[in-house]
Structure 1
Amino acid sequence: MEYQEILSFVKEQVVQKTRKPLTFAEENLICQCWEENKPYEELEEPFCGHTIGYVKTQTAPKLWDRLTQVTGQKVTKRNFRSILEKAYEEYLKIDVTGQVLRYRYQIIEIFNKTDFSKIYLAKDLDLNNKLCIVKQIIRKKNDRVIRKNFDTEVGFLYQLGWHSQIPGYLAHFEDGESFYLVYEYVEGESLSKRLPEEESGLLWKEESVINLLLKVLNVLEFVHKRGVIHRDIRPSNLIQSPEGKIYLINFGLIKELGSLQTRTFTGTLGYSAPEQSQGIPKFCSDIYALGMVGIQGLTGVPPQKFKVNHETGKIIWHQLVKTSPEFTNILDKMACPHWKERYQSASEVLQDLKKLCSN
């Protein structure tokens, strides 16, 4: 059971039951206490400028109270992981197999990826049982904000157009208390299951990471030119087909439906750029996230676990793996915490990577 899948579920439940999304500091607290349940005094920054004392006396108690509301059980720092894992397991047991949506899309299974929506693998009964992905967005009563953002999401999909590395948008509809989006099904495995782990010793070589970056940057260049910021570049949103093709999935505003406000944290902790964590995403925020994915491939270390140089704000990773100076500089510029010093476009990164490959 993957941490990111549980966290996505928790974020969804918190919004649905408390009407307020997790703050960056709350998500950071969950992340740092997840594996080792560190004492508050050993937590790493950043916490949005708050001191560890403030986190201990203000942020943490409020978070445990909110999670208690969500789960119906008394949540503490000591037991929160076991309670959240159990709640997620129970959620996944809800059996909707065989249910037919809009007299056409028959659910086969629930995918383990939920970002403020339920995501199903289904077959299209009108097209010889062809497989597709159906995303369900549940609205609360007659929530006008959710309807408006759903319409915006559909507009984004039309605006995005077609690309060979993006699953095609097929349809959208409303049924009962839910909105639905239907996408092309892409056969493959998420990168989260392919990335190496530090202790395995089977780390990716520089050439493999460069190849990955080139493929993803190609589709990011296309997306950004159409005015769309993905905002959630992470391994589980990158699908590798059996032929080695990389697909970028999970576009748009679905993860923010019902809570789409300015300066609201979206994305995934560790991969989200500092400005995005403050609710001000830019095109180069996607480049930061992709740089973190590349560094993870080289080191086997997920970005949430890197220590940070408190003087520069940069993550400390050079000593973990040997790479060429040119490639090290490219990754450092991609993952630079200061957005003005980062690559500003996918085209710029592509240019430097292609120059490196030609040399």
Structure 2
Amino acid sequence: MFTNRSPVAVSLRIYSEEADAPKQLRVGARLDKYRIASRLGEGGFATVYSAYDTIEDRRVALKIPDSRHLANSQTIDDLQREVRIMAKLDHPGILKLKDARFIDGHFVMVFPMGDETLADRLTRRIARATAVDYALQMIDAVAFAHQQRVLHRDIKPENFILFPKQTIQLTDFGLARIQTSAHPVSASGTLGFMAPEQAMGHPGFRSDVFSLGLVIYRLLSGELPDYPFEAPLPGYQKLRKGLSSDFVAMIRKAIDPVPNRRFRDAIAMQNAVSRIRYPLSDRSVMQLGRSDNPSRISQRRAA
């Protein structure tokens, strides 16, 4: 649908100019084959809806920017970038973009429907082995994005979606960029998970590592440190509980306030964690190292 030979930005402008007056969005409304079931959330310039695909007979999530923004060329450029970035990221740990087009005056991005966000899941107790499994999958997903030179810039619990069979996927590439060179940009991101250099307008792969490290720290400790970090870090004893010293050291390195002390990117972080065969100190779980998803772990006790 989107290829290098078909400039998406131009196409989006053409369709937005030719589109009819936007259809009112309400529960039960139809957008082509999609029937809106409920509003899931709103943030930035877009709203996310739960919907039903009447052709494929499955639930989906619709991300729909406010039609008032579509006259803004910068918004169109941002949509183009998000669509093209997500279309090229084919990985089990990254939410797949199923469809992207104008329907009844609305630009609609369609995604598989998950169970809940990691932010929602963090309100309930998570088994240690499950939390470690999620952490390994998240590192694997961000490492793949970095391999494609994609800088996410908004890694946080709300942007990880949980699916059945203990699967977690990264989404919302609305702030993402293809990293070609270091250059100042606006300080976009989410306070609390944004690296200090990103807040100053200098994001990079190391700042994604910082945000990812904080998400994992929050997942395993139940606490989120405030910058500037001062020892002892909140929840640090809970973080260490049951984890191998190497796994704890990996997390501490990822959230170092000094960029050059962190992993240079999530690829280096993934390489480091791949050398930790037993993430839990009691060795009750071990990394599988499967080629299809090397981050998954086995809970069979080692002999």
Q: TM-score surpassing 0.5?
A: yes
Aligned to 1:194: 121
Contact 2:101-2:108 within 8 A present in 1 as well: yes
Distance 1:318 1:180 in 2: 41
Aligned to 1:228: 150
- Residue identity matched to 2:100: H
Aligned to 2:196: 274
Contact 2:207-2:259 within 8 A present in 1 as well: yes
Aligned to 2:30: 100
Contact 1:172-1:180 within 8 A present in 2 as well: yes
Aligned to 2:264: 344
Aligned to 1:184: 112
How many residue pairs get aligned? The number is 247
Distance 1:175 1:315 in 2: 53
Task: Report the CA distance between 1:203 and its aligned residue.
Answer: 7.2
Structure 2: any 5+ residue segments left out of the alignment?
1-23, 177-182, 284-303
Alignment of 1:243-258 (within 5 A): 243-253=165-175
Q: 1:130 aligns with which of 38, 49, 58?
A: 58
Q: Does 1:283 align with 2:283?
A: no
Task: Report the CA distance between 1:248 and its aligned residue.
Answer: 1.2
Aligned-partner SS, 1:108: strand
Aligned to 2:273: 353
Contact 1:307-1:316 within 8 A present in 2 as well: no
Distance 1:263 1:184, change over 3 A: same
Structure 1: any 5+ residue segments left out of the alignment?
1-93, 255-260
Query: Could you state the TM-score of these two structures normalised by the residue count of structure 2?
Result: 0.71
- Residue identity matched to 1:226: Q
Contact 1:273-1:288 within 8 A present in 2 as well: yes
Q: Does 1:295 align with 2:222?
A: no
Contact 1:275-1:285 within 8 A present in 2 as well: yes
Distance 1:238 1:140, change over 3 A: closer
- Residue identity matched to 2:122: L
Distance 1:300 1:318 in 2: 7
User: Which structure dedicates a bigger proportion of its chain to helix?
Assistant: 1
Distance 1:322 1:340, change over 3 A: closer
Q: 1:263 aligns with which of 177, 182, 185?
A: 185
Aligned-partner SS, 1:293: helix
Alignment of 1:76-155 (within 5 A): 96-101=26-31, 103-125=32-54, 127-138=55-66, 139-140=68-69, 142-155=71-84
Q: Does 1:173 align with 2:95?
A: no
Q: 1:321 aligns with which of 221, 238, 253?
A: 238
- Residue identity matched to 1:232: D
- Residue identity matched to 1:288: F
- Residue identity matched to 1:100: R
Distance 1:290 1:245 in 2: 17
- Residue identity matched to 1:190: T
Distance 2:38 2:152 in 1: 26
Distance 2:41 2:269 in 1: 32
Task: Report the CA distance between 1:98 and its aligned residue.
Answer: 0.9
Distance 2:169 2:194 in 1: 20
Distance 1:117 1:282 in 2: 25
Distance 1:149 1:108 in 2: 27
Contact 1:150-1:179 within 8 A present in 2 as well: no
Q: 2:135 aligns with which of 213, 235, 247?
A: 213
Query: Could you state the TM-score of these two structures normalised by the residue count of structure 1?
Result: 0.61
Distance 1:227 1:307 in 2: 29
Distance 2:259 2:232 in 1: 15
Q: Deviations over 1:148-195 (max 9, x none)?
A: 2222222222332x2222232122223566422122223x22211222
Aligned-partner SS, 1:268: coil
User: Which structure dedicates a bigger proportion of its chain to strand?
Assistant: 2
Aligned to 1:308: 229
Aligned-partner SS, 2:213: helix
Aligned to 1:330: 250
